[in-house]
Amino acid sequence: MNHNDYKAQVEDNPDAQNRQLALEKLIQHAASLERSRELDLYKRYAGDPDFKRAFDASISRLLSSKFSGSALGNTIN
């Protein structure tokens, strides 16, 4: 997915629940694209729900710190 998808589906999305679901979908898509290069990471991401949650939370924190004040940054702690 490209940056426009992120902006439209996450940053500019006024609904917090849909914003979180869209972010998870974008992260999952990115992880799938990288699986051939990072197979071990992908296996953990795809097979370990605790690792997936922690990974998603880490990405969300990184994005919210980069876009502080954006719609995403206002809802994820």
Report, as an integer, the average pLDDT of 36-41.
Answer: 81
Give Cβ neighbours of residue 18 (< 8 Å, ≥ 6 apart): none
pLDDT in tens, 48-71: 999 999 999 999 999 888 766 554
pLDDT at res. 2: 61
Residue with more model confidence, 49 or 30: 49
Residue 56 confidence (pLDDT):
94
71 SS3 class:
coil
| pLDDT score, position 75 | 46
| In the chain, domain spans | 3-66
In the chain, the percentage of residues whose pLDDT exceeds 70 is: 82
Any residues with CB less than 8 A from the CB of 14 and at least 6 apart, and which? 71
Predicted structure pTM score: 0.54
